[in-house]
């Protein structure tokens, strides 16, 4: 079901495919890129528009220059909506893989995320743990796995293993998921700077259910091209 049902007339609809051809529900970084593309190509003449993806509406706002703010909707922690198979909803969960017990948090920001808090993301085997969790039977549709290191209540470091893809240089929805988990568990403040391998994002959320989470960051034009078949 599309969220933000009040937006009955989206200006644009778009689809997102990973490099292996698998279509995904939505992509936070992709939303900023779409926003910048529409602005760059003069497809829009106002600062804020509504667009739709496979399962939700998003509001894209041009802040200034190449900075865009995305209304990502409400984080959802209900297991069946992620989906995550468990007996009851909890603030955190435990999964044992090869005799190792992992404490995880789960949330959907339009796509499923599993977050693990770590002491040092440089010492984590992101590929091994990420691949095992992303295909775990508790996640029937797979899951993106985020490894979060808390620097302060206003700053975190994050690495993300995306389902079907592997570790990526950055993940916008993963940043949103990590901050939502941190705010929900009173680890983080309501405005957090997330540092990923290839850039930073600012995530804001009031922490109240029914309220949207916002992601702000840059988008950069790399090149134009033509695809011939």
27 is catalytic: yes
176 is catalytic: no
Which is catalytic among the residues 7, 27, 114, 176?
Answer: 27
Which is catalytic among the residues 7, 86, 138, 171?
Answer: 171
Encoded tokens for 42? 């003069």
Residue 60 phi/psi, 5-degree rounding, is: -105, 130
195 forms bridges with which residues in the sheet? 157, 200
Residues marked as catalytic? 27, 171
């Amino acid at each position: 079901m599309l969220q933000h049902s009040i937006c009955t007339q989206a200006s644009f609809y778009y689809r997102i495919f990973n490099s292996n051809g698998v279509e995904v529900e939505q992509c936070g970084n992709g939303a900023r890129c779409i926003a910048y593309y529409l602005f760059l190509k003069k497809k829009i003449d106002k600062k804020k528009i509504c667009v739709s993806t496979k399962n939700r509406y998003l509001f894209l706002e041009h802040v200034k220059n190449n900075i865009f703010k995305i209304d990502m909707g409400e984080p959802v922690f209900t297991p069946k909506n992620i989906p995550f198979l468990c007996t009851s909803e909890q603030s955190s969960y435990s999964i044992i893989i090869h005799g190792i017990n992992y404490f995880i948090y789960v949330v959907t920001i339009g796509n499923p995320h599993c977050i693990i808090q770590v002491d040092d993301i440089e010492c984590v085997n992101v590929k091994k743990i990420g691949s095992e969790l992303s295909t775990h039977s508790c996640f029937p549709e797979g899951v993106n796995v985020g490894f979060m290191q808390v620097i302060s209540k206003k700053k975190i470091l994050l690495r993300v293993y995306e389902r079907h893809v592997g570790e990526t240089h950055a993940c916008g929805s993963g940043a949103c998921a990590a901050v939502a988990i941190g705010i929900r568990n009173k680890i983080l403040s309501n405005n957090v700077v997330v540092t990923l391998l290839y850039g930073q994002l600012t995530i804001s959320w009031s922490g109240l259910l029914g309220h949207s989470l916002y992601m702000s960051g840059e988008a950069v034009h790399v090149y134009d091209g033509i695809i011939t078949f």
